[in-house]
A = this chain, B = another copy of it.
Amino acid sequence: MIAAPSVHEQVALRLAGHEQRYTPVRQALVATLADAGRPLSIPEILATNLELPQSSAYRNVTSLIEAGVVRRVTGVDDHGRFELAEELAGHHHHLACGQCGKVEDVAPSARLERAMAEAARVVAEEQGYEVTGHQFDLVGVCPSCRRADG
């Protein structure tokens, strides 16, 4: 799966809006995240970009987050995980393996989204919050960990 060309254009545009350049390192990061189609940790990103220094990975992921291109996802283990913002990758949810920590994307269903929107509205009213988003994560055991468990 190759990233759609428009993704790179949008990223360049957003970075420009923050007076930041769309450098080769950043292009590589965006391409890696677009290809993966699931949130990646920094070690996972480094594993697919052998030449990339750790400090550059962290610094540029932060830059991309500031530009609104990338979003940080907190999974079940200690590693932060990163994915393209929903405007670029589409709205979706996550399925995390509680044993190995791997995270997959899950497509949203209309019924679930409706129920969540209603929940957000109710909570906003009851607690006085301004609700800006939601996160729905399923936790389970992935096929390969199920096999390992026996």
Q: Does A54 sit within 8 A of B, measured CB to CB?
A: no
Contact, CB under 8 Å: A131 / B140: yes
| Most chain B CB inside 10 Å of its own CB: which residue of A74, A76, A133 | A74
User: Which residues of B lie under 8 Å from residue A135 when comparing CB positions?
Assistant: 135-139
- With an 8 Å Cβ cutoff, the count of chain A residues facing the other chain is 39
Partner-binding segment picked from A56-64, A83-91, A120-128: A120-128
Checking B98, B122, B143 against A128 with a beta-carbon cut-off of 8 angstroms, the contacting residue is B143
Checking B75, B109, B139 against A133 with a beta-carbon cut-off of 8 angstroms, the contacting residue is B139
Taking beta carbons and an 8 Å cutoff, which residues of A are in contact with B? Answer: 74-76, 93, 95, 97-98, 104, 106, 109, 111-112, 114-116, 118-120, 122-124, 127-143, 146
